[in-house]
Chain A
Amino acid sequence: MSEFSDIGKLVNLPLESITPDDEFVAPSFLVSAAAHQLRATGGHNWVPLLVTESGDYQYKAVGNHFVYAVAEQAALERVWCILVDSDLEQIRQAQILTREAVPKVNLTEASKETILAGLKYLSAQPGSPLKGLDVTVAASRIAEADRAWWQNLTPVTTLGCKITRGKKLDALSEIFFVTPTTPPPKKTPAKKTKPSTSTKTTTSTRSRKKTT
């Protein structure tokens, strides 16, 4: 880390030089109670706000937004911050580490274990549309599928694992993305149209079977 760049350094900045995140929301109880605790302990925030340099003597909060909300509530003039590299991927990394962003994995090449762990994570989220999903079956179906050419997550809906378009598929996109490594099979679509329609029918029959 160079001496002529503050990136990576713990710096003490005037709160007014920092632009907060516009979308961050925290329960007012937590904010005021934390502000009270911060003031009562001398006003030195031990967990730093994460900022990037946005201009001369101007900063933008990019992570640990709760710290900003609390410092503001506690009417601190200055706050301890870590200056983060303004590269978007670096900011994202910081947000992932503070759990303000969820990391994503590439579904075109993820292992069965990763897919299973991901589905378990998603279905355990409160109010998850994937609640009740048989994650083991779904992970196996996805892992066995030819995924290298997937250009989006839609093919998952054709695998007969009860992940359908709409909310369920959207939930999946929270942690999975795709980057196709091979072009979509040219001949196979023609060939596959039949099996795929047949899978569709089988899926539907299966589900019907199950429901009956």
Chain B
Amino acid sequence: MVNLASSFLQSQLEKISPTETVEQVIVQDFAKPLLYELGFGDLEIRPEFETGNGPVDFAARKNNDHVDVFYETKTNPYLLVEVKARATNTGARTTPLNLADGAAAYRNVVKQLKCYLLSEKCRSARWGIITNGNHIQLWRKHGKVVHPTTPTLAIYPNNIDDIVYNLRSQIENYQPALTVCVYNNKGGVGKTTTVINLAAALRTKGKRVLLIDFDSQGDLTRSLGLIAGKITLTECLKDPKLEVHSIIQPFKMSIKNKVIHVFDVIPTDPGMEALTNSQSAAHIQKGARRLQDMISPLRSEYDYILIDCPTQWLYFSKSGVFAADAVLIPTRHTDLSSLNNAVRVITKFIQEDVKPHRQDGGPIPLPIFFNGAPSEGKSIDTANSEIEKFVEKDKTLIPYFWPYFKPGNKDKSVFSLPDYAVISTATFSRVPAVFKHKKVLEYYQSFASEYFIYE
């Protein structure tokens, strides 16, 4: 069956001119057959689907029954496909349209796809594909986060079947978890406080959350009053045969005489300290890639897996970023070094160090936020003028610093979490601050909905 299907797409691809400039040809001769191969029937595919943020070339969803026909109802799309031509006509010349990662055309299509996926009418959408018949990339939407799950793949008649097989198995097996590493190469930006309170806020919105204290200093483990169990994180890293569930501990709280399971935690242990030494780290097979493998069985059991890492770009942080779908970078508006280091995390660590070694196009940086800052004022202006300096040098950084900045609307707002003394002092009381102060909870809930969840 696979062979029959493959020859169909192969012949479709061979039919299209390598310099095809008409998008409709790619739409009809490649993208639609592709949707068939991904398992969607004619009544499950809607061309020119109006997202509310403009029409996307295709939207698709499985029909549940005879009444719920997507082609007719046009509601709750599951997959969007944005198609481009293989080349463009500029005057008399034909220039290839390069959708390879990093090209300007690629960035534009990705921006377009994100805009559609995040539109009101596409809340239900989980997947997005961009393609021009030369390249293809699959994106996943988790809450408000859109991230790639494949690199931009070059398409040839001889690899299209394997690609489609991979895309289809991903689309049909949506894993509920989003893995987020909270990291900045500069210390003192409130990483641990962010992880704990964000997790608690997500819990109040009904999300299943797992925290991983991937820091030998153990601030997170200690501040929640936990200690490692019989089998430790270090042992689990060293022995791939150990059961990862055996190192998970529940964090419970009693509220009004009722014990509530807030979230789960993988606590750190004293053995982690030794992993900073290369002799000991040599016992971990696959090194900084091991954490990703270790937590992969948990991706079907949680909605969010949050990883807390130490500051330096060494084993622990590399592991955390390598395991992540998205990297959340806290900064302090008064600490310009934390802003400069955010640039390093985005351009150097994520883009140059980690991404080339991942098979799935990830991880992505999320826009930075100011931890402990007023929403406006002179100090914010100073921070913004610092941001202006490196954004001037590299325009591709804009979405990571000023996510609302658009052509014609130079909105430089950066999300900020106000500095309440309680946020940090509460860490001593073994109770996340959000459970002690209603106002703090509201702030972290708005933080969660800014970045992750729909209200």
User: Which residues of A come within 8 Å of B, CB atoms?
Assistant: 2-6, 9-14, 17, 56-57, 78, 80
Which A residues touch B322, using CB under 8 A? 4
Q: How many Å from the CB of A14 to the closest CB on chain B?
A: 8
**CB-based nearest B residue for A78:** B283
In the complex the two chains form, is B293's CB within 8 Å of A4's CB?
no
Which A residues touch B287, using CB under 8 A? 3-4, 6, 9
Of the listed residues A3, A11, A57, the one surrounded by the most CB atoms of chain B closer than 10 A to its CB is A3
Query: What separation, in Å, do the CA atoms of A6 and B286 have in the docked complex?
Result: 6
Q: How many Å from the CB of A48 to the closest CB on chain B?
A: 10
**CB-based nearest A residue for B289:** A4
Instruction: Determine whether B354 belongs to the interface, using a CB cutoff of 8 Å to chain A.
Output: yes
Chain B contact residues: over half helix, strand or loop, or mixed? helix
Known A3-B353, A4-B322; contact A12-B286, beta-carbon cutoff 8 A: no
Q: How many Å from the CB of A61 to the closest CB on chain B?
A: 15
Instruction: Determine whether B5 belongs to the interface, using a CB cutoff of 8 Å to chain A.
Output: no
Instruction: Determine whether B318 belongs to the interface, using a CB cutoff of 8 Å to chain A.
Output: yes
Of the listed residues B286, B289, B293, B322, the one surrounded by the most CB atoms of chain A closer than 10 A to its CB is B286
**CB-based nearest B residue for A58:** B285
Q: How many Å from the CB of B174 to the closest CB on chain A?
A: 23
Query: What separation, in Å, do the CA atoms of A78 and B284 have in the docked complex?
Result: 12
Query: What separation, in Å, do the CA atoms of A80 and B239 have in the docked complex?
Result: 15
Query: What separation, in Å, do the CA atoms of A17 and B241 have in the docked complex?
Result: 11
The residues in B between 278 and 311 inclusive whose CB is less than 8 angstroms from any CB of A are: 282-283, 285-289, 293
In the complex the two chains form, is B285's CB within 8 Å of A13's CB?
yes
Known A9-B287, A56-B293, A57-B240; contact A4-B282, beta-carbon cutoff 8 A: no
Q: How many Å from the CB of B315 to the closest CB on chain A?
A: 8
19 interchain pairs, CB-CB under 8 A: A2-B353, A3-B288, A3-B318, A4-B288, A4-B289, A4-B322, A4-B353, A5-B357, A6-B286, A6-B287, A9-B282, A9-B287, A10-B282, A11-B282, A11-B283, A12-B282, A12-B283, A56-B293, A57-B286
**CB-based nearest A residue for B315:** A3
Query: What separation, in Å, do the CA atoms of A5 and B285 have in the docked complex?
Result: 10
Given A3-B287, A78-B283, 5 more contacts at CB 8 Å? A3-B288, A4-B287, A6-B285, A56-B293, A57-B285
Which of B239, B285, B353 meets A11, CB within 8 Å? B285
Which A residues touch B282, using CB under 8 A? 9-12, 80
Q: How many Å from the CB of A57 to the closest CB on chain B?
A: 5
In the complex the two chains form, is B283's CB within 8 Å of A4's CB?
no
Q: How many Å from the CB of A79 to the closest CB on chain B?
A: 11
The residues in B between 317 and 364 inclusive whose CB is less than 8 angstroms from any CB of A are: 318, 322, 353-354, 357
Query: What separation, in Å, do the CA atoms of A13 and B240 have in the docked complex?
Result: 11
Which A residues touch B293, using CB under 8 A? 56
Query: What separation, in Å, do the CA atoms of A12 and B293 have in the docked complex?
Result: 18
In the complex the two chains form, is B285's CB within 8 Å of A2's CB?
no
Which B residues touch A5, using CB under 8 A? 357
In the complex the two chains form, is A4's CB within 8 Å of B240's CB?
no
| 6 pairs of A and B residues whose beta carbons are closest in the complex | A4-B357, A12-B283, A12-B282, A57-B240, A11-B282, A57-B285
The residues in B between 204 and 250 inclusive whose CB is less than 8 angstroms from any CB of A are: 239-240
Which B residues touch A13, using CB under 8 A? 285
Which B residues touch A4, using CB under 8 A? 287-289, 318, 322, 353-354, 357
Q: How many Å from the CB of B238 to the closest CB on chain A?
A: 9
Q: How many Å from the CB of B140 to the closest CB on chain A?
A: 22
Which A residues touch B357, using CB under 8 A? 2, 4-5
Which B residues touch A10, using CB under 8 A? 282
Query: What separation, in Å, do the CA atoms of A117 and B293 have in the docked complex?
Result: 52
**CB-based nearest A residue for B240:** A57
Query: What separation, in Å, do the CA atoms of A5 and B239 have in the docked complex?
Result: 18
Which B residues touch A11, using CB under 8 A? 282-283, 285
Which B residues touch A9, using CB under 8 A? 282, 287
Query: What separation, in Å, do the CA atoms of A80 and B279 have in the docked complex?
Result: 10
Which B residues touch A14, using CB under 8 A? 239
Query: What separation, in Å, do the CA atoms of A11 and B281 have in the docked complex?
Result: 8
**CB-based nearest B residue for A5:** B357
Query: What separation, in Å, do the CA atoms of A6 and B290 have in the docked complex?
Result: 11
Query: What separation, in Å, do the CA atoms of A10 and B282 have in the docked complex?
Result: 7
Query: What separation, in Å, do the CA atoms of A149 and B187 have in the docked complex?
Result: 67
Which A residues touch B353, using CB under 8 A? 2-4
Query: What separation, in Å, do the CA atoms of A11 and B287 have in the docked complex?
Result: 9
Query: What separation, in Å, do the CA atoms of A2 and B240 have in the docked complex?
Result: 22
The residues in B between 341 and 395 inclusive whose CB is less than 8 angstroms from any CB of A are: 353-354, 357
Of the listed residues B239, B282, B283, B289, the one surrounded by the most CB atoms of chain A closer than 10 A to its CB is B282
Which A residues touch B240, using CB under 8 A? 57
Of the listed residues B285, B293, B318, the one surrounded by the most CB atoms of chain A closer than 10 A to its CB is B285
Query: What separation, in Å, do the CA atoms of A13 and B238 have in the docked complex?
Result: 9
Which B residues touch A2, using CB under 8 A? 353, 357
Q: How many Å from the CB of B354 to the closest CB on chain A?
A: 7
Query: What separation, in Å, do the CA atoms of A3 and B314 have in the docked complex?
Result: 9
Query: What separation, in Å, do the CA atoms of A7 and B95 have in the docked complex?
Result: 40
**CB-based nearest A residue for B239:** A14
Q: How many Å from the CB of A58 to the closest CB on chain B?
A: 10
**CB-based nearest A residue for B238:** A12
**CB-based nearest A residue for B287:** A6
**CB-based nearest B residue for A11:** B282
Query: What separation, in Å, do the CA atoms of A186 and B318 have in the docked complex?
Result: 62
Which A residues touch B283, using CB under 8 A? 11-12, 78
Query: What separation, in Å, do the CA atoms of A97 and B318 have in the docked complex?
Result: 33
Query: What separation, in Å, do the CA atoms of A78 and B288 have in the docked complex?
Result: 20
Query: What separation, in Å, do the CA atoms of A14 and B241 have in the docked complex?
Result: 11
Query: What separation, in Å, do the CA atoms of A6 and B318 have in the docked complex?
Result: 14
**CB-based nearest B residue for A16:** B241
Q: How many Å from the CB of B324 to the closest CB on chain A?
A: 13
Query: What separation, in Å, do the CA atoms of A17 and B357 have in the docked complex?
Result: 23
**CB-based nearest B residue for A2:** B357
Of the listed residues B287, B288, B322, the one surrounded by the most CB atoms of chain A closer than 10 A to its CB is B287
